[in-house]
Structure 1
Amino acid sequence: MKVDTAQEYLKNNKALDNKKIYIYASSNKIIGGVIGTQRGLVLLSVNKDILYIHRANIDNSYGEQLAKIHIPDMKNIQGKAGLFGGKFSFNYDRKEYKFKLPAKAEKFVDFFVK
């Protein structure tokens, strides 16, 4: 699936808004969340005030929704974007979420950490 097709699919399923804030990331060990201790590729996307976490597929498509997080309720948001990748973490509903971001994740990080 092409990136444009994936973006359109996300918009049609109300997992992405016009700001196009999304990124593929690797999930680190997540403590006690819906994702459990799984590791792997995920898609993080924003629609209005909701952060969606979907399982990501190698062909730029996405699978099942792993989490739907109300952004104003996120705590301890930390993010860093750099030339060689970055990190993004937060707490939500007494669970800790940590992600490794690819290079060029500035737009995503800046949305959360300003």
Structure 2
Amino acid sequence: MKEDQVIEKLIKEKVLDDKSIYVYASVKGGIGGVIGTINGLVLLSVYKDVLYIQKANIDNSYGEQLAKIHIPDMKNIQGKAGLFGGKFSFNYDGKEYKFKLPAKAEKFVDFFVK
């Protein structure tokens, strides 16, 4: 699937808003619950004040929704974006979430860290 098609689908399904804050990432370490059972890629997208975590497929498409997180309730948000990739982590509802980000994830990280 082309990235433009994915973005259009995300907007239509109301898991991405006009700010286009999203990134493909990989789960880093065990989170537990549904997300902890997923190895590989996830798609992180923001719609208003909600962060959606969905299983990502190798063709840029996405599948099952793994989590719906209310952003104002996220704690200990940390992120770093760089030329060779970055990281993003936070605590929510007693669980720690950690992700490895690709290069060029500055817009995503800046949304949460600034």
Instruction: List alignment gaps of at least 5 residues for structure 2.
Output: none
How far apart, in 2, do the equivalents of 1:113 and 1:82 lie? Answer: 14
Q: Secondary structure at the match of 2:10?
A: helix
| Residues 52-61 or 26-35, more deviating | 26-35
Shift of 1:39: 2.2
1:101 alignment partner AA: L
How far apart, in 2, do the equivalents of 1:81 and 1:68 lie? Answer: 23
Instruction: Give TM-score scaled by structure 1 length.
Output: 0.96
Q: How well do the aligned residues superpose, as a CA RMSD in angstroms?
A: 0.9
- Tell whether the 8 Å contact from 1:74 to 1:92 is kept in structure 2 after alignment: yes
- Tell whether the 8 Å contact from 1:22 to 1:45 is kept in structure 2 after alignment: yes
- The C-alpha deviation readout for 1:17-75, integer Å capped at 9, x for no partner, is 00000000011123334312432100000000000000000111000000000000000
| Residues 35-44 or 104-113, more deviating | 35-44
Alignment partner, residue 8 of structure 1 = 8
How far apart, in 2, do the equivalents of 1:96 and 1:51 lie? Answer: 15
Alignment partner, residue 21 of structure 1 = 21
2:99 is equivalent to residue 72 of structure 1: no
Q: Choose between structure 1 and 2: higher helix proportion.
A: 2
Divergent runs of 4+, >4 A: none
1:87 alignment partner AA: K
Alignment partner, residue 111 of structure 1 = 111
- Tell whether the 8 Å contact from 1:29 to 1:39 is kept in structure 2 after alignment: no
Q: Percent identity?
A: 80
Instruction: Give TM-score scaled by structure 2 length.
Output: 0.96
Instruction: List alignment gaps of at least 5 residues for structure 1.
Output: none
Shift of 1:8: 0.4
Alignment partner, residue 47 of structure 1 = 47
